A and B are shown apart, each in its own frame.
Chain A
Amino acid sequence: MHTNKKNNVDRRSFMKTSLLASGGILFGFNLIKAVNPESLLTDAVSNLNYQDFNAFIKIALNGKVTIFSPNPEIGQGVKTSMPMLIAEELDVAWKDVTVAQGKLDTKNYTRQVAGGSQSIRFAWLPLRQTGATARAMLVQAAATKWGVSIASCQTKNGFVIHSSGKKIGYGDLVVEAAKLEIPTNVTLKKTKDFNIIGQDIKNVDSSKITEGKPLFGIDFKTPGMLYTSVIRPPAFGQKLLNFESAEAKKIKGVIDVIRFGDKIAVIGESTWLCFLGKKAITANWSSNSTLENTEKQDEDLITLLEGGSIKGVKLKTVRMDGDLETAFSKVDRVIERTYEAPFLPHNTMEPMNFYANVTADKIHLVGPIQTPEGSANRVAKLLKRSPDEVLLEMTRMGGGFGRRLKNDFVLEVAEISSIIQKPVKLIFSREDDMTAGFYRPKVKYRFKAGLKNGKIAAYHIKEAAIGGNINKSRANFFPAGSVKNYKVEVAKLRSKVTTMAWRAPISNFLGCAEQTFLDEVSEELKIDPIQLRIDLLNAADSSDNRMEYSPKRMLEVIKMVKEKSNWRNAPKGTFQGFSAYYSHNTHVAEIAEVVVKEGMPVVTKVYCVVDCGIVVNPLGAKNQMQGGVIDGIGHAMYGDLDLKNGTPQSSNYDRYRLIRMSETPQVETYFIDSDEAPTGLGEPTLPPAAAAVANAIKAAMGIRLRKQPFIKNWELNIS
């Protein structure tokens, strides 16, 4: 099990204090440097440019605290949970804290990162140390003022309290505190003393969302800004030959139609006029290679799984333990199954969009992006400008799921603005968004287990995919280390279709395949599926230091979900399916309940138990867990994207089915009590969900689903 190394960064190098004109104090710190223990820190405070700071704690004379966080929200609650860590150690009451979006730094855009599942794990120590450092300075200021020892002072809710009972508010100490040296050694609170961490804290932007305030990239505007929408090649691998735009240009309010690369941009006075303009354009496309079809891709992937070679690609080994061949030759029985998943678009509710204003002296970019540094650098390179001239601001994001790690749309809008020399906002229509690529990899797995004396003696995973593959780290997930003879092989099929990480990368379908397979193995062995996992975990080789999960923590989530769900004692007509999966350093076990209505399965309930270490904000955490489970089920049931002649066959929600409220189960959430540092929660509840449902459907209907989507054309998709 990998744990966090103790983070011993020197706080002097990433903190700075200054007195404000208003009389308050500002503690500046470099959030990104602080949360990234690998980055080099400057030694002397005096050498630090103030621009190096991108997050601040402001304490006003009235004691009110403002935490400026540069981390934009993507839907995982980091804009709330990260400041909670600071406020906890600063020892202020949460009601006295305001969280503000930090003003983005013009020079140091490169330091901005957007939070994902892992943010809280990396921020856990540094952000607490930051709060604790500020607190220590306030205590020191009080002790000096009173002429008492630091040891005789405590803090609570924004006050320093002396053992004699006298107390003073933080606001009254800021002037003195600002003059002090920044201490390097601070003590962090003990878990049992937490007042804010572990409390239900509401999302700091909640009220702005319910009032419809402009928060998202798509809401951003500047005076005189134009709109643009782009026609891209309809099929993967196509090139633009020529196009006719006279009709489009006749539309009043359509300002221009330009070609850039193999794309056509319509520029207009409103989004709608750009959409109208696009419809009025006829374009001719060509291709000098064969356009791909789903059927052919399926065949090729199977060829790879069977050991064949396609365009020089074959299976290659990622991890191998023991002697697989000998082990398989000695087993009583072999079970081998294939599991398949299609491409999936991310389908963030807010379609891709970005603003650019490219002028002679600077490049201003604004919008929802998770990789600002890479984006700004690539824009600079594309336009042959210096990265110093680029100012990139991030907005709240209407979902990411991996899509906003890609910066294709930032490059597009920058290029368009540089051509038309005007501020312009690029908006993808839903059709553009769904057909532009960067999908979840299309993947097939073949699992093979050799069974001997009621146990798994050999275990072989083969993966063929378009896009991402099982990497070294994932090959070390369960059941690696629990089975002596173990092998993982992968092959990556070349394709023109672009792929990208998708919520819980790789795990999202590997979890489904593996946990379905183990259910099939337990049927074959005629043992309880939960017992099979328990036996495997108990057999885990604790000396295997590559193992990336904790058998002990896994056993605990399994035990709890079994209890909570009343496993095997569901009411008549309700059938249960079990699944457990580790990803993003979090252990999760789930049991889904299914009933059959009019010949179709309906998921009514899911019990979900996680061990994600200390739960920073249970209110937000439960929402994340429920979302992950329902998202996992929705995409497993309905998510599909076929290609015909290189062209995606679904382009909007009429032909692409997303789960809706009337199809969602109630998700009951439970946490393991823990003192361990927090781990990710935005993703890990997704991978086990699909298999829990597939296993419950098997129990309910006797039908084994091995292919996503489970429901295709309104029928069960039986392979």
Chain B
Amino acid sequence: MGVFKLRINNKIHTVDVDDSTPLLWVLRDSLDLVGTKYGCGIGQCGACTVHLNGYATRSCLLTVAMVGDSAITTIEGLSENNNHPVQEAWNKLDVAQCGYCQAGQIMTASAFLEQNKNPSSEDVRMAMHGNICRCAAYNRIEEAVVSAAEKMKSNS
């Protein structure tokens, strides 16, 4: 067990958990940040995606001991008022079906669009490859990422 200070959504949280605990379960079980979802636990589905210093990261593979003083952003901290361009595109296009995978999809898309301001549709399809949607809302997800990219371009 160990005490860890974590910088999550611009706040410092202190947790006392087993060193091997993945950040995912610290978020969900210790900190009540349940927007980040468990899907597979082995880095295959993307449901648990968060930002680590701005990069999309699988929180199920990242142990709490590995986080250090990196800045973590979860879906709850992506924007103040649900108004990140990616969230707006998701709401505008009504992407979600069951909705379970969507936080991970949004976190992957938002980190990707920070890196690639002018993605081709092939770039989008490859960038989102790591996120499974069992309801197969893929057409809408793709449309929403493209639409968010356009919005972010015109904003900058």
> Is the pairing of A and B real?
yes
B-binding residues in A (CB < 8 A): 73-77, 200, 202-203, 205-207, 209-216, 218-219, 221, 227, 251-253, 269-273, 275-276, 347-351, 396-401, 427, 429-430, 619-620, 623-624, 626-631, 634, 652-654, 658-662, 664, 666-667
B125/A349 in contact, CB under 8 A: no
Q: How long is the Cα–Cα vector from A592 to B141 in the complex, in angstroms?
A: 21
The interface residues of chain B lying within 8 Å CB-to-CB of A400 are: 98
B87 at the interface (CB under 8 A from A): yes
B38/A271 in contact, CB under 8 A: yes
The interface residues of chain A lying within 8 Å CB-to-CB of B97 are: 75-77, 623-624, 627
B74/A212 in contact, CB under 8 A: yes
B138/A216 in contact, CB under 8 A: no
Answer whether A272 and B29 are a contact pair too, CB < 8 Å, given A205-B96, A212-B74: yes
The interface residues of chain B lying within 8 Å CB-to-CB of A666 are: 139
B153 at the interface (CB under 8 A from A): no
The interface residues of chain B lying within 8 Å CB-to-CB of A627 are: 97, 135-137
User: A399 — nearest CB in chain B belongs to which residue?
Assistant: B98
Answer whether A205 and B76 are a contact pair too, CB < 8 Å, given A210-B87, A211-B87: no
Q: Mark B4-29, 1 if CB is under 8 A from A, else 0.
A: 00000000000001101110010011
B41/A430 in contact, CB under 8 A: yes
B91/A351 in contact, CB under 8 A: no
Q: How long is the Cα–Cα vector from A399 to B102 in the complex, in angstroms?
A: 12
User: A75 — nearest CB in chain B belongs to which residue?
Assistant: B98
**Closest Cβ–Cβ distance, residue B99 to chain A (whole Å):** 4
B47/A349 in contact, CB under 8 A: yes
User: B35 — nearest CB in chain A belongs to which residue?
Assistant: A212
Answer whether A630 and B29 are a contact pair too, CB < 8 Å, given A270-B21, A398-B100: no
Q: List 22 A-B contacts (CB under 8 A).
A: A77-B97, A202-B94, A206-B91, A206-B96, A221-B32, A251-B18, A272-B25, A349-B39, A349-B132, A350-B98, A396-B99, A397-B98, A398-B37, A398-B99, A626-B138, A626-B139, A629-B136, A660-B132, A661-B131, A661-B138, A662-B128, A666-B139
User: B75 — nearest CB in chain A belongs to which residue?
Assistant: A212
User: A273 — nearest CB in chain B belongs to which residue?
Assistant: B18
The interface residues of chain B lying within 8 Å CB-to-CB of A662 are: 125-126, 128-129
**Closest Cβ–Cβ distance, residue B35 to chain A (whole Å):** 2
B129/A653 in contact, CB under 8 A: no
A209/B40 in contact, CB under 8 A: no
Q: How long is the Cα–Cα vector from A78 to B135 in the complex, in angstroms?
A: 15
User: A625 — nearest CB in chain B belongs to which residue?
Assistant: B139
Answer whether A661 and B128 are a contact pair too, CB < 8 Å, given A203-B96, A652-B42: yes
Q: How long is the Cα–Cα vector from A211 to B133 in the complex, in angstroms?
A: 18
A349/B76 in contact, CB under 8 A: no
The interface residues of chain A lying within 8 Å CB-to-CB of B106 are: 210
B100/A213 in contact, CB under 8 A: no
A626/B137 in contact, CB under 8 A: yes
**Within the complex, which residue of A207, A212, A634 is in contact with B103, where a contact is CB–CB below 8 Å?**
A212
Beyond A200-B94, A203-B94, A666-B139, list 20 extra A-B contacts (CB 8 Å): A205-B96, A205-B99, A209-B90, A210-B90, A212-B34, A214-B35, A251-B18, A270-B21, A272-B17, A272-B20, A348-B100, A349-B100, A349-B134, A430-B40, A626-B139, A653-B40, A660-B130, A661-B124, A661-B128, A664-B139
The interface residues of chain B lying within 8 Å CB-to-CB of A227 are: 29
A253/B129 in contact, CB under 8 A: no
Range for the number of chain B residues in contact with chain A:
35 or more
**Closest Cβ–Cβ distance, residue A31 to chain B (whole Å):** 21
**Closest Cβ–Cβ distance, residue A386 to chain B (whole Å):** 33
Q: How long is the Cα–Cα vector from A75 to B137 in the complex, in angstroms?
A: 10
The interface residues of chain B lying within 8 Å CB-to-CB of A214 are: 34-35
User: B77 — nearest CB in chain A belongs to which residue?
Assistant: A212
Q: How long is the Cα–Cα vector from A219 to B31 in the complex, in angstroms?
A: 12
Q: How long is the Cα–Cα vector from A627 to B36 in the complex, in angstroms?
A: 23
**Closest Cβ–Cβ distance, residue A350 to chain B (whole Å):** 5
**Closest Cβ–Cβ distance, residue A154 to chain B (whole Å):** 32
B45 at the interface (CB under 8 A from A): yes
B39/A430 in contact, CB under 8 A: yes
Q: How long is the Cα–Cα vector from A203 to B137 in the complex, in angstroms?
A: 14
B138/A210 in contact, CB under 8 A: no
The interface residues of chain A lying within 8 Å CB-to-CB of B34 are: 212, 214, 218-219, 221
B132/A653 in contact, CB under 8 A: yes
**Closest Cβ–Cβ distance, residue B109 to chain A (whole Å):** 11
The interface residues of chain A lying within 8 Å CB-to-CB of B100 are: 216, 348-350, 398-399
Q: How long is the Cα–Cα vector from A520 to B94 in the complex, in angstroms?
A: 40
B136/A74 in contact, CB under 8 A: no
**Within the complex, which residue of A74, A430, A619 is in contact with B94, where a contact is CB–CB below 8 Å?**
A619
**Within the complex, which residue of B25, B42, B91, B124 is in contact with A653, where a contact is CB–CB below 8 Å?**
B42
A252/B82 in contact, CB under 8 A: no
A620/B94 in contact, CB under 8 A: yes
The interface residues of chain B lying within 8 Å CB-to-CB of A216 are: 37, 99-100
B102/A252 in contact, CB under 8 A: no
A654/B129 in contact, CB under 8 A: no
Q: How long is the Cα–Cα vector from A667 to B136 in the complex, in angstroms?
A: 11
**Closest Cβ–Cβ distance, residue B45 to chain A (whole Å):** 6
Q: How long is the Cα–Cα vector from A254 to B7 in the complex, in angstroms?
A: 27
Task: Give 6 nearest A-B pairs by CB, closest first.
Answer: A212-B35, A398-B100, A75-B98, A212-B75, A653-B44, A630-B136
The interface residues of chain A lying within 8 Å CB-to-CB of B74 are: 212
The residue in A215, A270, A634, A667 that gathers the most chain B C-beta atoms within 10 A of its C-beta is A270
The interface residues of chain A lying within 8 Å CB-to-CB of B21 are: 270, 272
B52 at the interface (CB under 8 A from A): no
**Closest Cβ–Cβ distance, residue B38 to chain A (whole Å):** 7
User: B100 — nearest CB in chain A belongs to which residue?
Assistant: A398
The residue in A77, A211, A349 that gathers the most chain B C-beta atoms within 10 A of its C-beta is A349
Q: How long is the Cα–Cα vector from A117 to B138 in the complex, in angstroms?
A: 20
Q: How long is the Cα–Cα vector from A535 to B39 in the complex, in angstroms?
A: 47
B29/A209 in contact, CB under 8 A: no
B125/A652 in contact, CB under 8 A: no
User: A254 — nearest CB in chain B belongs to which residue?
Assistant: B18
The interface residues of chain B lying within 8 Å CB-to-CB of A624 are: 97
The interface residues of chain A lying within 8 Å CB-to-CB of B75 are: 210-212
Q: How long is the Cα–Cα vector from A459 to B103 in the complex, in angstroms?
A: 49
**Closest Cβ–Cβ distance, residue B65 to chain A (whole Å):** 13
B30 at the interface (CB under 8 A from A): yes
The interface residues of chain A lying within 8 Å CB-to-CB of B28 are: 271
**Closest Cβ–Cβ distance, residue A210 to chain B (whole Å):** 4
**Within the complex, which residue of A76, A206, A429 is in contact with B90, where a contact is CB–CB below 8 Å?**
A206
B18/A347 in contact, CB under 8 A: no
**Closest Cβ–Cβ distance, residue A388 to chain B (whole Å):** 32
Answer whether A348 and B99 are a contact pair too, CB < 8 Å, given A218-B38, A661-B129: no
Q: How long is the Cα–Cα vector from A468 to B37 in the complex, in angstroms?
A: 33
The interface residues of chain B lying within 8 Å CB-to-CB of A77 are: 97
User: A219 — nearest CB in chain B belongs to which residue?
Assistant: B34
The interface residues of chain A lying within 8 Å CB-to-CB of B42 are: 430, 652-654
B101 at the interface (CB under 8 A from A): yes
Q: How long is the Cα–Cα vector from A96 to B4 in the complex, in angstroms?
A: 47
**Closest Cβ–Cβ distance, residue A280 to chain B (whole Å):** 12
The residue in A203, A211, A429, A666 that gathers the most chain B C-beta atoms within 10 A of its C-beta is A211
Q: How long is the Cα–Cα vector from A440 to B134 in the complex, in angstroms?
A: 16
Q: How long is the Cα–Cα vector from A400 to B128 in the complex, in angstroms?
A: 23
User: A398 — nearest CB in chain B belongs to which residue?
Assistant: B100
User: A253 — nearest CB in chain B belongs to which residue?
Assistant: B18
The interface residues of chain B lying within 8 Å CB-to-CB of A430 are: 39-42
The interface residues of chain A lying within 8 Å CB-to-CB of B150 are: none
Answer whether A652 and B139 are a contact pair too, CB < 8 Å, given A627-B97, A662-B129: no
Q: Mark B101-118, 1 if CB is under 8 A from A, else 0.
A: 111001000000000000
